[in-house]
Amino acid sequence: MKSIVFPWLSDLLDEQAYEFLGEVIEAANAAGTHTAFRQTLDALVVEWRDEQRSPSSLARSSP
């Protein structure tokens, strides 16, 4: 999956990308305000981006 907004999303498996996007949709539904959604979105992006850079994630992705 290619993404201009989240370039690192391209590095995820499709299932992982859909899981992330599902969390974004849930956050949008639960947020209540634009500001709360943006804060939640920022936290989700940091969490997912950092997970993809973690040593355990890199070890799983190497052949």
Give yes or no for residue 52 having a pLDDT over 80. no
**Any idea where the domains of the chain sit in the sequence?**
7-53
Q: Is the pTM of this model over 0.85?
A: no
Give yes or no for residue 63 having a pLDDT over 50. no
The 10s digit of each residue's pLDDT in 1-51 is 677 877 878 888 889 889 988 998 999 899 889 888 989 989 998 888 887
The C-alpha angle 48, 27, 45, rounded to 5 degrees, equals 20
Give yes or no for residue 61 having a pLDDT over 70. no
Give yes or no for residue 55 having a pLDDT over 70. no
Whole-angstrom distance, CA of residue 28 vs CA of residue 38: 9
